[in-house]
Amino acid sequence: MCGRCGTLNGITAAAQMPAECLNMDRFAIINSRKRAIIALVHSVFFLGLAAVQLAISHADPFPRRGPGLTGAAALLIVYVIVTTVLLVLLRFSRCAQERLYFALCAGSAGFGLVRILLGDPAFHAAVLRVLLLSCAVIIGTAILRSHSMAVLAGEMEVQ
């Protein structure tokens, strides 16, 4: 709980908080406007990538041997690393918005991992990835907006 404004993990709307609490006291990882922009750009990029994968490909199960093994193994390693990193970020995030953002991104990466391992001929995992990343983009936009409001509130106080 914030000692200055009494918010519980950032659940209170940013518009109702005092200006000094609009800064990033409630965010542990996405604690600046620059980080929010970087996170949002990543989310939009991976949303586009997931949408393209949904539109043009169906995933076969992980090959046990053969010509596609090297590429599938590399993609599997990337998804394992990305999912693990996003779960660690989820663990260390503080406020509800930040936790939701990282949960959506980790869920999308997890569905990508499942899609690599088991295949997805009916596109269920691909649709879920697009849905989760779309929600992550919306939450990331809200986080960026709250950071922008904090910057504007700080500039207004200086004047």
- 116, 126, 125, 121: which is closest to 73 by C-alpha? 116
Measured distance CA(139)–CA(39) in Å, rounded: 11
Q: In whole angstroms, how far apart are CA 64 and each of 57, 116, 128?
A: 20, 12, 26
Q: What is the pTM of this model?
A: 0.78
Residue 151: the pLDDT is: 76
Q: Give, as one character, the DSSP assignment of residue 62.
A: P
Confidence at 150, pLDDT banded by 50, 70, 90: confident
Q: Give, as one character, the DSSP assignment of residue 17.
A: S
Residue 19: the pLDDT is: 42
CB 48 within 8 A of CB 55: no
Residue with tokens 């991104």: 105
Mean pLDDT of 61-87: 86
* Minimum mean pLDDT range among 88-92, 99-103, 143-147, 153-157: 153-157
